């Protein structure tokens, strides 16, 4: 028996990335691209225990073909760089668990009152 709809599951797993928004960098490392293609990339390995990017945010200036062009919020780099929208929209495990604990019961009750999930 299903308790949550596909849209509700996507809400728990992914953030909605929009132009002009500020987002935390992925905690377990990510690829940085010099342009909106997969041809040139540099992997930034961010160790969550060193907290190298713990309080830094990424400002999305534009979204082009699944790539988010932007820069650091507090100390901008001299040129903009690209991160895939897929990597930027992923939620961390702790965030998923907290959202699930807080929202799963109200969502299940809502779905149950509406007649269940198909």
Residue 43 to residue 28: CA distance in whole angstroms:
11
What is the predicted pLDDT for the residue at 44?
65
**What pLDDT, on a 0 to 100 scale, did the predictor assign at position 1?**
45
Q: What are the boundaries of each domain within the chain?
A: 6-113
- pLDDT score for 60: 94
Radius of gyration of the chain (CA): 17
* pLDDT at position 78: 85
- Residue spans of the chain under pLDDT 70: 1, 43-52, 118
Q: pTM of this prediction?
A: 0.73
16/2 Cα distance (integer angstroms): 24
Q: What is the DSSP string of the chain?
A: ---S-HHHHHHHHB----TT-EEEPPTT-EEEESSSSSSSEEEE---TTTTTTTT-EEEEEEEETTEEEEEESSS--SS-EEEEHHHHHBPPHHHHHHHHHHHHHHHHHHHHHTT---
């Amino acid at each position: 028996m299903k308790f949550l709809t596909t849209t509700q599951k996507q809400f728990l797993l992914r953030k909605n990335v929009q132009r002009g928004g500020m987002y935390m960098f992925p905690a377990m490392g990510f690829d940085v691209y010099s342009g909106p293609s997969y041809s040139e990339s540099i992997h930034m390995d961010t160790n969550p225990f060193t907290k190298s990017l713990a309080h830094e945010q990424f400002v999305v200036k534009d979204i082009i073909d699944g790539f988010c062009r932007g820069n650091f919020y507090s100390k901008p780099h001299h040129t903009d760089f690209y991160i895939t929208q897929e990597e930027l929209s992923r939620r961390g495990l702790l965030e998923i668990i907290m959202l699930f604990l807080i929202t799963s019961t109200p969502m299940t009750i809502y779905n149950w009152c509406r007649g269940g999930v198909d």
